[in-house]
Structure 1
Amino acid sequence: MSGSYQIVGSEYVGSAVAAHLRPQGHEVVGATTSPGWLAELCDLVDHPRLYRAGDAIEPIPASWIGSMAF
Structure 2
Amino acid sequence: MTDDLTEGRWFKSSYSETTGQCVEVAHLSGGRVGVRDSKNPSGPALTFGPAEWDAFTTSGHCGEFDRPNS
TM-score, normalised by the number of residues in structure 2 = 0.28
- Higher RCO, Cα 8 Å, sep 6+: 1
User: Which is richer in helix?
Assistant: 1
Q: Which has the larger radius of gyration?
A: 2
